[in-house]
Structure 1
Amino acid sequence: MAAFGLVVIGLIGLVIGGEMLVRGAVSAANRLGLPPLVIGLTLVGFGTSSPELVTSLQAAFAGAPGIAIGNVVGSNIGNILLILGLTAALTPIAVQPAAFRRDGGVMILATLMCLGVVWLGDIGRLAGLVLVVVLVAYLAFTLIVESRASRTAAGEVYEAEAKAVPGRDQPIWLGLLTAVFGLAVTIFGARYLVSGAVTLAEAAGISETVIGLTIVAIGTSMPELVTSIIAIRKNEADVALGNVLGSNIFNILGILGVTALVHPLSVPTEILQFDIWVMCGATLMLILFAWTGWRIGRREGGIMLACYAGYLAWLLI
């Protein structure tokens, strides 16, 4: 029970801390006059992925690579099948072809790179560096292209993501204070979560990898879920799609890359044999659903949710 309590406290800390970090950083950036495009592409993307980053780093240093890698792989699976599936089941998502071709293409590239480094068996600092360099190149290219263009579909999605964050009109000092406090809460939440997850896995007799793919991955994806729900309430379901695409790219190139760069990781056999393929399958499913009519409807959302339920059942049974 103590381990479960730590997990719950850690998850609550991650959700609250991640939300405060994004809200504070976006508010300060907005007051400083940064363009919504820059805010949506960088701060919102990094901010909503901060729980995954802090948790994977904590897990790597705690000697739990199953949680560190499972968190990334499980989050990407959950982002597509659970969060995007739930969003589409509630309201159909209109897909912007131009934005999806680029960001969807980068997500496919990131997924293939993840498959490649996982197949190495050990993800070292060189592989981590390559992932981070690709992320920096993607961000730089996107910012240059979008800033030069007068108005693009992709730029509109990034701007909508920035505007979907609540509390954007705080004073600068309050925004910065909120962001710093949110980061601290996120760090402590990740520490409790990893500690509780390791203990819970030992007590329940299941692998750390399964805990990382399920409880940890779902918990660290809560900021993306919150952002998607806010987007639905504002009738901007396409923001939810852009949020998932950006988060999956950040998870692989940023979180897995930074974690391996700081602390090399050994890939658990379970992920190599099964879960990485589920992630690739979920990515392919998203691409196919988005390209057929440039719309993800309620039926497709239901299929995604059913697949995620089946995946969880397979892991736990």
Structure 2
Amino acid sequence: MLYPIIALIIGFIILVWSADRFVIGAAASAKNFGMSPMLIGLTVVSFGTSAPEILVSAMAATTGAGGLAVGNALGSNIANIGLVLGITALIAPLPVKSKVLKQEVPLLLAITLLAGGVLYDLYLGGFDAILLLLSLIGCLFLFARFQRSASDDEIADEEEELPDLSTGKAIFWLLFGLTLLAGSSRLLVWGATEIASAMGISELIIGLTIVAIGTSLPELAASVASALKGHTDIALGNIVGSNIFNIAAVMAVPGFLAPVTLESVVLWRDYGVTFGLTALLAIFALLQRPPKINRAEGGLLVIAYAAYLGLLYNMSV
């Protein structure tokens, strides 16, 4: 089992580094072609930090590991809120001040509800994937509308976060990062499935834990860096935007490539925790006065994530 473990570790390292290069190249390319900073943050950066999940799900689906693909999508959303957002809030409390985020968070809640409807029959097929893809198109349309209604101050807040590269360099990093993402994702999926087979652990559990945490590392790095710089809206917006992409794009992948039948535990345990943490995020971000996610709430999110991992462990032994 040594080679799969080495493949898993190397795959994670290359995945995180190439995701960063991909985000830089994509954001700089979009900027050079005239997209506004806020729209780039809502679309390109969020998609970029979700690229590892999308590629891992594609590789898993095409190699017959559909359970790993679905587990990766749900597990990444759970890790993004419970682990990434929780740790970020512990480092730097997150006030919710952007009008855009107050529109994005309800949108994430709506997309999460749609995911519940898609998973209700415990089958993820082509029709479900089309519904998810249509929801992604709708989200992109709403993102553009949110951006047009944002104030100049909100747009200026994100200006310095965008990389300044020539178009040639930006496109090079975009394509090079995407190529490495594809290769490292294939390596990671192979290592994870081999370890799961050797240890008698289901692909779903591997996808919900090891792969989900690994593919959430770009979000963790981006959110913590943004929070430390005082850009709390970017830190929270990265998580919210990435989770929307995880459901609408990542979970659609196995439906298009290799439809999968799921166990009932996916609905009540994994989707249930996904929805519960998303609802908790909405309460923290929108219903408090002033809206914020402070250190106490960040600690609560981390504890909730630890409890979820404990539940997975108890159910797998």
TM-score interval (norm. to shorter): over 0.9
What are the superposed Cα offsets for residues 93-124 of structure 1, whole Å, 9 maximum, x if unpaired? 10136334321111111111111111121111
After TM superposition, list the pairs within 5 Å mapping 1:1-317 onto structure 2: 1-96=2-97, 98-147=99-148, 149=149, 151=151, 156=155, 160=157, 163-165=160-162, 168-290=163-285, 291-293=287-289, 294-317=291-314
Structure-1 separation of matches of 2:182 and 2:158: 24
Q: Is contact 1:66-1:212 (8 Å) kept?
A: yes
Q: Is contact 2:105-2:282 (8 Å) kept?
A: yes
- Runs (4+) off by over 3 Å: 159-163
Structure-1 separation of matches of 2:57 and 2:10: 17
Q: Is contact 1:45-1:243 (8 Å) kept?
A: yes
Q: Is contact 1:93-1:237 (8 Å) kept?
A: yes
**TM-score, normalising length: structure 2:** 0.93
Q: Is contact 1:39-1:162 (8 Å) kept?
A: no
Structure-1 separation of matches of 2:216 and 2:73: 10
Unaligned runs of 5+ in 2: none
SS, match of residue 34 in structure 1: coil
Structure-1 separation of matches of 2:23 and 2:263: 32
Structure-1 separation of matches of 2:157 and 2:252: 27
Q: Is contact 1:227-1:240 (8 Å) kept?
A: yes
Per the TM alignment, residue 160 of structure 1 is displaced from its structure 2 partner at its CA by 4.7
Structure-2 separation of matches of 1:150 and 1:289: 22
Structure-2 separation of matches of 1:275 and 1:263: 21
Q: Is contact 1:89-1:299 (8 Å) kept?
A: yes
Q: Is contact 2:39-2:143 (8 Å) kept?
A: no
Per the TM alignment, residue 281 of structure 1 is displaced from its structure 2 partner at its CA by 1.1
Alpha carbon RMSD of aligned pairs, Å? 1.8
Structure-1 separation of matches of 2:150 and 2:278: 31
What are the superposed Cα offsets for residues 182-212 of structure 1, whole Å, 9 maximum, x if unpaired? 0011101110111111110011111111110
What are the superposed Cα offsets for residues 59-104 of structure 1, whole Å, 9 maximum, x if unpaired? 1111111110000100000110101100111111101363343211
Unaligned runs of 5+ in 1: none
Structure-2 separation of matches of 1:120 and 1:17: 36
Cα distance change, pair 98–175 in 1 and its aligned pair in 2 (3 A): closer
What are the superposed Cα offsets for residues 4-32 of structure 1, whole Å, 9 maximum, x if unpaired? 11111111121011111111111222233
Q: Is contact 2:98-2:233 (8 Å) kept?
A: no
SS, match of residue 12 in structure 2: helix
Q: Is contact 1:161-1:243 (8 Å) kept?
A: no
Cα distance change, pair 270–87 in 1 and its aligned pair in 2 (3 A): same
Q: Once the two structures are aligned, what percentage of the paired residues are identical? A: 37
Per the TM alignment, residue 161 of structure 1 is displaced from its structure 2 partner at its CA by 5.4
Cα distance change, pair 249–160 in 1 and its aligned pair in 2 (3 A): farther
What are the superposed Cα offsets for residues 262-297 of structure 1, whole Å, 9 maximum, x if unpaired? 332222343123111111111111112222220111
Per the TM alignment, residue 125 of structure 1 is displaced from its structure 2 partner at its CA by 0.9
Moved more, 92-101 or 36-45: 92-101
**TM-score, normalising length: structure 1:** 0.93
Structure-1 separation of matches of 2:305 and 2:32: 40
